[in-house]
């Protein structure tokens, strides 16, 4: 079994290596008082800057997944993704285990016998955390922790922790906190059996006088505080999203088309935005490196203005708490005129990435009805057979490399074809004192020809409705001149 992220199959029987503790024997007095190295407490980092990135929060973790459907490749691929998530959160992965079951055990997620085997593996590897590849109920988390004797977290808590590390803006931090509180609320624990529950009298087993506790008041206070905090965060997010709504309505009023870049996390969305617009957005080979939406202006090869919005990345089984908390951010996708669905062509299973993103699209109002271009990114690192398979499956697709620039000009041509057409074609004479209207035609519309005469500028262009009304009021049709 591999030490870093290796996968073993837990079915009827499981084999693993035991690390037998060294026999310390009898030490001389000086040797007993000296500092002794503890085996297994070193982490090999490739670069010293990784210490800062991981925020000195390295935890030694064992991954465990339950394989209920699909192929073994799907199960191992899911656990490999969990390994990347764990490393992004700042963990050192020691082992990865999969158990084949019809459904997760309702008590301990993997069953009582396999929980004991997992406890032995945790003890032999020196792990301090177990991460489960799924969302566990509060009861499953508590009972599994009682068996393995170390901290247990699930996939949802792990993703929320990564979001909390990477949120930079005020709105992003509020959205992540709201998602964390939504997850925490049903998982609160009381003070334990000694102080939390009110007891007394014969009905309580004869505890009698002096044995009455204050009741389960502390946990109720915590729940009320969390609900109040969640209500306050929702109000704040609504107020903060007003600015984005105002800008979006302003673009709509000027009829500037909107293009949203969406896709799986680490598929290269920010790299593509930088390549198309020079936005300078953070690019990092890490999951969920950028959470805050970025909107930039761009122009088609014919000079037509449109906006590009980079959105938060998606992942398999994206926690519904995050979808709800980031709803105002995800509206950039629902309000777009065109979606660039970016997929990593170098990934072992890009089809599952496409399916996962489209599943989230189904939770965003109106997103399924918007035209979509599948952008197969990282062509410079992808296998030829994978590219061919994707292009055959996704008819409306294009192959690009945001790193090298391959296919970018073809993508811009395709965007221009897919953007909604301007409704009004005008051929008018504009007075020279209204040169601002000519400038607006260049900025907001598609100019076909410009001719300067003694009476003014003859403009032949396709323009949006708002500019058409202004030209109707000021300019004269060329036919009447």
What is the per-residue pLDDT across 270-301, written as a single tens digit (0 to 9) for each? 888 888 887 555 555 556 666 667 788 888 88
Residue 144 pLDDT > 60: yes
What span, in angstroms and rounded, lies between the C-alpha atoms of 438 and 432? 9
Q: Which CATH architecture has domain 254-418?
A: 3-Layer(aba) Sandwich (3.40)
CATH of domain 424-480: 3.30.70
**HSE-CB of 302 using CA atoms within 13 angstroms:** 17
- 3-state secondary structure at position 310: strand
Considering 288-297, 317-326, 445-454, the range whose residues carry the highest mean pLDDT is 445-454
Q: Is residue 77 a contact partner of residue 349, using CB atoms and an 8 Å limit?
A: yes
Confidence (pLDDT) at 281 = 56
Query: Mean pLDDT, to the nearest integer, of 265-271?
Result: 85
What span, in angstroms and rounded, lies between the C-alpha atoms of 291 and 266? 12
Confidence (pLDDT) at 279 = 59
Positive or negative CA dihedral for 58, 64, 68, 69? Answer: positive
Q: Quick one: which of 429, 426, 419 has its CA closest to 469?
A: 426
What span, in angstroms and rounded, lies between the C-alpha atoms of 287 and 353? 13
Q: Is residue 69 a contact partner of residue 105, using CB atoms and an 8 Å limit?
A: no
- Write 416-421 long-range contacts (CB < 8 A, 24+): 416/300, 416/301, 416/302, 416/304, 418/338, 418/371, 418/373, 419/257, 419/259, 419/300, 419/304, 419/306, 419/337, 419/338, 420/257, 420/337, 421/462
Q: How confident is the model at residue 387 (pLDDT cuts 50, 70, 90)?
A: very high
Cα distances (Å, whole numbers) of residue 232 to 175, 291, 436:
11, 21, 45
Query: Mean pLDDT, to the nearest integer, of 15-41?
Result: 40
What span, in angstroms and rounded, lies between the C-alpha atoms of 13 and 5? 20
Length in residues, the chain: 481
What is the per-residue pLDDT across 455-470, written as a single tens digit (0 to 9) for each? 888 888 887 766 777 7
285 class by beta-carbon count within 10 Å (0-12 exposed, 13-18 middle, 19+ buried): exposed
What span, in angstroms and rounded, lies between the C-alpha atoms of 288 and 290? 5
Residue 99 pLDDT > 80: yes
Q: How confident is the model at residue 18 (pLDDT cuts 50, 70, 90)?
A: very low
Q: How confident is the model at residue 398 (pLDDT cuts 50, 70, 90)?
A: very high
Q: Where are the beta strands (DSSP E) in 242-381?
A: 258-263, 294-299, 305-310, 338-344, 372-377
Q: Is residue 354 a contact partner of residue 341, using CB atoms and an 8 Å limit?
A: yes
What span, in angstroms and rounded, lies between the C-alpha atoms of 331 and 340? 15
Q: Is residue 475 a contact partner of residue 428, using CB atoms and an 8 Å limit?
A: yes
CATH of 7-16+51-164 among 3.30.420.40, 3.20.10.10, 3.90.1150.10, 3.40.50.11060: 3.40.50.11060
Angle 279-282-284 from CA coordinates, rounded to 5° = 135
What span, in angstroms and rounded, lies between the C-alpha atoms of 379 and 468? 42
Q: How confident is the model at residue 363 (pLDDT cuts 50, 70, 90)?
A: confident
Token pair of 115, please?
């929980």
What are the sequence ranges of the domains in the chain?
7-16+51-164, 254-418, 424-480
How crowded is residue 283: how many other Cβ atoms within 10 Å of its Cβ?
Answer: 17
Q: Is residue 309 a contact partner of residue 277, using CB atoms and an 8 Å limit?
A: no
Query: Mean pLDDT, to the nearest integer, of 75-104?
Result: 86
For residue 452, how far is the Cα from the chain centroid? 52
Cα distances (Å, whole numbers) of residue 188 to 141, 182, 223:
12, 11, 8
Positive or negative CA dihedral for 270, 52, 41, 118? Answer: negative
Q: Quick one: which of 394, 387, 410, 384 has its CA closest to 275?
A: 410
Token pair of 409, please?
């000009």
Query: Mean pLDDT, to the nearest integer, of 226-237?
Result: 92
CB crowding 7-39: b at 16 or more within 10 Å, else e: bbbbeeebeeeeeeeeeeeeeeeeeeeeeeeee
SS (H, E, C) 177-242: HHHHHHHHHHHCCCCCCCCCCCCCCHHHCCCCCCCCCCCCHHHHHHHHHHHHHHHHHHHHHHHHHH
Same fold: 7-16+51-164 with 254-418: yes
Share of the chain above pLDDT 90, in %: 14
DSSP string, 389-442: HHHHH-SSEEE--TTT-TTHHHHHHHHHHHSPPPSEEEEEEE-GGGHHHHHHHH
Confidence (pLDDT) at 373 = 93
Measured N-to-C along each axis, helices 350-361 and 384-393 cross at an angle, to the nearest 10 degrees, of: 40
Residue 22 pLDDT > 70: no
């Amino acid at each position: 079994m591999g030490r870093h992220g290796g996968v073993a199959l837990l079915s009827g029987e499981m084999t693993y290596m035991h690390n037998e503790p060294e026999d310390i024997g009898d030490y001389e007095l000086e040797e007993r008082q000296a500092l002794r190295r503890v085996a297994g407490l070193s982490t090999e980092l490739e670069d010293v800057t990784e210490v800062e990135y991981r925020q000195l929060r390295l935890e030694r973790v064992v991954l465990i997944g339950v394989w209920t459907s699909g192929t073994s490749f799907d199960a191992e691929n899911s656990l490999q993704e969990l390994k990347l998530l764990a490393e992004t959160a700042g963990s050192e992965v020691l082992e990865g285990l999969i158990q084949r079951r019809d459904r997760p055990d309702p008590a301990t997620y993997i069953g009582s016998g396999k929980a004991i085997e997992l406890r032995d593996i945790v003890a032999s590897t020196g792990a301090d955390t177990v991460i489960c590849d799924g969302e566990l109920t509060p009861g499953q988390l508590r009972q599994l922790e009682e068996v393995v004797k170390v901290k247990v977290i699930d996939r949802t808590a792990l993703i929320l922790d990564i979001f909390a590390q990477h949120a930079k803006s005020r709105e992003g931090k509020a959205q992540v906190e709201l998602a964390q509180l939504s997850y925490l609320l049903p998982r609160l624990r009381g003070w334990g059996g000694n102080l939390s529950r009110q007891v007394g009298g014969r009905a309580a087993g004869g505890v009698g006088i002096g044995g009455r506790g204050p009741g389960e008041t502390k946990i109720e206070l915590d729940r009320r505080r969390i609900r109040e905090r969640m209500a306050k965060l929702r109000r704040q997010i609504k107020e903060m999203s007003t600015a984005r709504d105002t800008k979006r309505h302003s673009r709509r009023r000027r009829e500037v088309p909107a293009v949203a870049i969406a896709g799986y996390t680490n598929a290269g969305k920010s790299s593509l935005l930088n390549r198309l617009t020079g936005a300078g957005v953070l690019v990092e080979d890490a999951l969920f490196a950028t959470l805050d939406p970025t909107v930039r202006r761009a122009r088609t090869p014919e000079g037509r203005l449109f906006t590009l919005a980079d959105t938060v990345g998606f992942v398999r089984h994206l926690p519904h708490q995050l979808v709800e908390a980031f709803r105002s951010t995800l509206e950039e996708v629902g309000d777009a005129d065109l979606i660039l669905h970016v997929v990593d062509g170098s990934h072992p299973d890009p089809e599952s990435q496409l399916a996962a993103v489209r599943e989230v699209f189904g939770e965003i109002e109106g997103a399924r009805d918007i035209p979509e271009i599948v952008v197969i990114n990282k062509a410079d690192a992808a296998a030829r057979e994978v590219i061919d398979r994707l292009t055959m499956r996704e008819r409306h697709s294009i192959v690009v490399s945001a790193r090298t620039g391959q296919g970018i000009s073809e993508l811009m041509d395709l965007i221009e074809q897919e953007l909604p057409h301007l409704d009004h074609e005008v051929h008018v004479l504009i007075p020279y004192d209204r040169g601002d209207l000519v400038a607006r035609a260049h900025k907001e519309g598609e100019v076909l020809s410009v001719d300067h005469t003694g009476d003014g500028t003859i403009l032949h262009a396709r323009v949006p409705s708002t500019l058409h009304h202004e030209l109707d009021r000021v300019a004269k049709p060329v036919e009447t001149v």
